[in-house]
Chain A
Amino acid sequence: MSERGQLTTHERAASFAPRAGKPAFLARYGSVLFLLLLIGLEAGVVRFVIRDVRSANNEVQRMYASSVLGLHRIGSLQYDAQETRRSTLYALTTNDSNLQVVYADQSRGADARVTAGIAAYLQQATLPQEIELAHRLDQDWKAYLAARNEVLGLILEGSIKEAVSYDLARGVPLFDRVRVDLEETERLYDEQASQRLANVAALANKTIIRLVTVLAVTILVAGVFVWVLQKDKMASTMQMARMQMDFAASVSHELRTPLAVLLSAVDNIADGVVSGKEQLAKYGAVIRNQSRQINGLVNQVILFVSTQGGKGRYTLEPLTIAEVIEVAVTSTAELIRKAGFTLEQDIRPGLPRILGDISALSQCLQNLITNALKYSDQGRWIGIRASEEGSKDHREIRISVQDRGKGIDRAELHRIFEPFYRSKEAVAGQIHGTGLGLHIARTLAEAMGGRVSVTSEVGVGSTFTLHLPVMEDLGEPGEAVGRTVAQT
């Protein structure tokens, strides 16, 4: 039982369907999906770009705020510090107390700006080095201001010589310390500005790398997607071409044998080799049989073509299951008899009628019976059963055709309904066929609103079941219902 498999045509889709489900979806919506994928990727790229541009902008603004404005602040501090000292020294150049007071006032105005600037610098300092430097500058500035105040006092009280001496002894060294502090502050700002500039450059490089990477990924994904799409289409096309080649070879092979027999028979008759009524009758029978075989083959091909793409025309009418089976069995009786098969029928009484085309349904069953005949091997028995199954809401008629043949490998179950498909065993065993029978059977069943399922076990046999829906308003069995002509 391990090799036993079950499959329905609904589960394993329609023409070329067993392999065409996902690829068909891709083929149909592949372009849209590809476009959406590209849009998504491009949106991602744009998002990356915007984020990086914003980061760069923020970094540049931070750089401007902390470096350019900082340098401007340091420049102002340096100028005002010099102004503080310069105004103090100006007071030395005059004996006019009024002017001396003015210079002292200017010096104090400048030192107030420096003090405020240092406080602002201290407030915005974040790095330990900055904070330490700001504190040192603040202390040195206050020390210088104390000396400056002393010098101013000496100048104003008229002690010029003492003022100069004090300034040289205390003011100059203290102011030098302030100047060094300011220079160090400026150097620190320069370093920070350089660092931030390097950060901006690194960010720009990072952005470029990201862009290139994302674009490369986009192109790669798009390429892979196109490759997969094309590969799948190519595979489908090649498979179709291979099947068509197999079909052409199979049909040619199927035609060649009867044609050869026909030609031989006709040649013999034409050459006068055949004489006598009895021999002519024998040759006539041969010609008829071979012609029928050719006719049957041609009919299969025509039927296949006519059922593709919903082109079939059907006349729907209420039918009893018995008459459908009867037509099918009658049509294949000769084949069954010649092949030496035993046909066993089990048709449950009182089965409801179905709505369908008698020709299509009987053809469907004929194909299933013919298939059983071909692949039954030594087990020359065919069982046909008809029953009503299903739930109250979903009733259906099941007509199964069972054989005791080779069975079908589980791996091939999903392919047997494909057009032109022939199993390796069939090819190897030189079993005649075009690979269309089961496909046509399934197509016809679906055209009638039904389906075909199969269960099989290698070495035991196979059962193909035709499922047909029960129509509720068709009346009791045997009751006449008007014909309906439908085109599917």
Chain B
Amino acid sequence: MIRYPAIMVMILAAAALVEPLAQSRVQAARPKESLAIIVNRENPLENLSMAELRNVFLGGRSHWPNGRRITLVMMEPGQPERETLVRDVCRMSESDLRRRYLQGLLTGEVLVSPKTLASPVGVRKFVFNVPGGIGYLRPEDVDDTVKVIRIDGHLPSEAEYPLKVEERSER
């Protein structure tokens, strides 16, 4: 009688391991959409390279060319958009990014720490209100209150655009 429960537990554990794998296969198959980088409309910036974008989001740059202080705005952890930015722009994990911000602020290596907002609308309104603000949104959340900049010379609508995030409908 003792064996059977153990077998049942093993079966359930196996099922629990198999399900994420199945999901990951589905995710891999889903189409992706671009992740737009947005700035305030008063910001004359038009293009950033991936390296410059990484430097901005890691807090290595404090001001824009027009003299406005850079203010980072990000969505709360766990959102696909943030995961995409952390993974593809910062090229580190969420925990590593947090650790970097904490350590960097103490050592002075990080000049700007990001503001965290709960929704894409909040991000858009934040960037709209802050002249030096920069954030990210899916293209469908963007309107004309903010400006989308090119990354490596490409707009989100172009195939060569480097930042891609899973489509919201598949989540």
Contact = CB atoms under 8 A, between A and B. Distances in A.
B69 A157 contact: yes
Given A97-B116, A104-B125, A152-B130, 7 more contacts: A97-B122, A97-B126, A150-B131, A152-B129, A153-B129, A153-B133, A156-B130
A158 B129 contact: no
Contacts of A98: 117-119, 122
B71 interface: yes
Contacts of A156: 71, 115, 126, 129-130, 133
Contacts of B126: 97, 101, 156
A379 to B, nearest CB: 125
Nearest to A107: B129
Nearest to A154: B130
Nearest to A162: B69
B76 to A, nearest CB: 10
Q: How large is the interface on B (under 10, 10 to 19, 20 to 34, 35 or more residues)?
A: 10 to 19
Contact of A105 (B118, B125, B131): B125
B67 to A, nearest CB: 13
B169 to A, nearest CB: 25
B115 A97 contact: yes
A105 B124 CA distance: 11
29 contacts: A97-B73, A97-B116, A97-B117, A97-B122, A97-B126, A98-B119, A98-B122, A101-B117, A101-B122, A101-B125, A101-B126, A101-B129, A104-B125, A105-B125, A149-B129, A152-B129, A152-B130, A153-B133, A156-B71, A156-B115, A156-B129, A156-B130, A156-B133, A157-B69, A157-B115, A157-B130, A157-B132, A158-B115, A159-B69
Nearest to A105: B125
Contacts of B119: 98
A157 B129 CA distance: 9
Interface in B76-112: none
The interface centre, meaning the residue of A98, A105, A157 with most chain B CB atoms within 10 A of its CB, is A157
Contacts of A152: 129-130
Contacts of A97: 73, 115-117, 122, 126
Contacts of A153: 129-133
A158 to B, nearest CB: 7
Interface string B55-86: 00000000000000101010000000000000
Nearest to A149: B129
Contacts of A158: 71, 115
A158 B117 CA distance: 14
A152 B115 CA distance: 15
Contacts of A104: 125, 129
A359 B140 CA distance: 128
A158 B70 CA distance: 11
Contacts of B69: 157, 159
Interface string B127-171: 001111100000000000000000000000000000000000000
- 8 closest pairs, A vs B, by CB? A157-B71, A97-B115, A156-B130, A153-B130, A101-B125, A104-B129, A152-B129, A101-B122
The interface centre, meaning the residue of A98, A153, A158 with most chain B CB atoms within 10 A of its CB, is A153
The interface centre, meaning the residue of B126, B130, B132 with most chain A CB atoms within 10 A of its CB, is B130
A97 B126 CA distance: 8
A150 B130 CA distance: 8
Nearest to B122: A101
Interface string A134-158: 0000000000000001101100111
A151 to B, nearest CB: 10
The interface centre, meaning the residue of B126, B132, B133 with most chain A CB atoms within 10 A of its CB, is B126
A157 B64 CA distance: 14
B13 to A, nearest CB: 40
Nearest to A97: B115
Contacts of B118: 98
A157 B132 CA distance: 8
Interface string A100-128: 01001100000000000000000000000
B4 to A, nearest CB: 52
A97 B124 CA distance: 12
Contacts of B130: 152-153, 156-157
Contacts of B117: 97-98, 101
A418 to B, nearest CB: 107
Interface string A68-105: 00000000000000000000000000000110010011
B22 to A, nearest CB: 36
Interface string A153-174: 1001111000000000000000
A97 to B, nearest CB: 4
Nearest to B123: A101
B113 to A, nearest CB: 9
Nearest to B125: A101
A152 B42 CA distance: 15
Contacts of A159: 69
A104 B133 CA distance: 15
A291 to B, nearest CB: 135
A157 B130 CA distance: 7
A105 B71 CA distance: 18
B152 to A, nearest CB: 27
B151 to A, nearest CB: 23
Interface string A22-52: 0000000000000000000000000000000
